[in-house]
Amino acid sequence: MKTKKSQGNGNIGIMGGTFDPIHLGHLLAAEEARERYHLERVIFVPARTPPHKEEEMLSYGEHRYMMTVIGTINNRYFSVSRIELDAPSHAVNYTVDTISRFKEIFGEGRKLFFITGADAILDLTTWKGYETLLSMCEFIAVTRPGYSLSRLKGIFDSEHSGLLSRISLLTIPGLAISSTEIRGRARQGLTIKYLTTSGVEQYILKNKLYIEAKK
Ligand code: ATP
Ligand code: MG
């Protein structure tokens, strides 16, 4: 797939995740995608109830929202959307529904690029309405230590192999960081410095996140 030629072409990156907490892996993925694809901005979308994660395992959405705002504060191209967090409480948010709402908001003139790590893209065919999703936005799949994108071709059967053209692979410097690891370290009282931003680190310590039971 061709990359866009000029900055300010109105293309928008969307980075979905639970961000529990946001860390340098997320930020690097978004920034590399922004620069490589000349995205006008990247919108981080903290999930309210990701279909693949049990809600009770997640920190309260407002903490995740605050940490995502704090973590992205130093990048003028980054913003955070409450579109999923503010969805009706009975709604389970699927990416296909979120992207459809963004398309309504931004109109047909804007191209949307959904940014994921290698682990997430390899699961894509299990996502609700993934074919519709791929028709509405292109995907930028970034490398992530521990997950091989060489398996990507194999996830589509021959009937759907054309969908591969909607996914671009982007090699980025590998950061073997996960939110799971940060939560585990915080729980054990180990340092989380340099895995996330210092603001997010302070927020986690101040609010004693991941130490006590769910906030
Ligand atoms: P958890 O361990 O709780 O699953 P996580 O670190 O995987 O957290 P998510 O919020 O699940 O973070 O991921 C959001 C998106 O960011 C996904 O597309 C994921 O693949 C991507 N991502 C997360 N960490 C990295 C990383 N270190 N490098 C590249 N992409 C990443
Ligand atoms: Mg994850």
Residue 154 located in a structural domain: yes
Each residue's pLDDT tens digit, 109-168: 899 999 999 999 999 999 999 999 999 999 999 999 999 999 998 888 888 889 999 999
Averaged pLDDT, 210-214: 69
C-alpha of 39 from chain center: 15
Point out the ligand 1 atom lying closest to the alpha carbon of residue 115.
Answer: 18
The pLDDT value given to residue 197: 98
Residue 46 located in a structural domain: yes
Averaged pLDDT, 197-208: 97
Cα–Cα distances in Å, from 206 out to 26, 176, 195? 22, 25, 17
Q: Any idea what the CATH number is for the domain that residue 64 is in? A: 3.40.50.620
Each residue's pLDDT tens digit, 21-80: 999 999 999 999 999 999 999 999 999 865 555 555 667 899 999 999 999 999 999 999
Residue 199 located in a structural domain: no
Number of helices and strands in the chain (H, E): 7, 6
Residue 182 located in a structural domain: no
Each residue's pLDDT tens digit, 175-188: 999 999 999 999 99
User: Where in the sequence is the domain holding 38, given as residue range(s)?
Assistant: 11-176
The pLDDT value given to residue 57: 61
How far apart are the CA of 85 and the centre of ligand 1, in A?
18
Residues in the chain: 215
Rg (CA), the chain: 17
What's the structural domain count of the chain? 1
Residue 24 located in a structural domain: yes
Q: Which residues sit with their C-beta closer than 6 Å to ligand 1?
A: 17-20, 25-26, 29, 116-117, 119-120, 142, 144, 175, 177-180
Four-residue CA torsion sign, 63, 72, 148, 179 = negative
The pLDDT value given to residue 51: 54
* From 36, 58, 95, 119, mutation site for ligand 1 pocket: most ligand atoms within 8 A of C-beta: 119
Residue 112 located in a structural domain: yes
What pTM, to 2 d.p., does this model score? 0.93
**Pairing assessment for the beta strands 78-80 and 112-117 based on DSSP bridges:** unpaired
Residue 110 located in a structural domain: yes
Answer whether residue 7 shows pLDDT above 70: no
Residue 155 located in a structural domain: yes
The pLDDT value given to residue 153: 87
The CB density around residue 143, as the number of other CB atoms within 10 Å, is 17
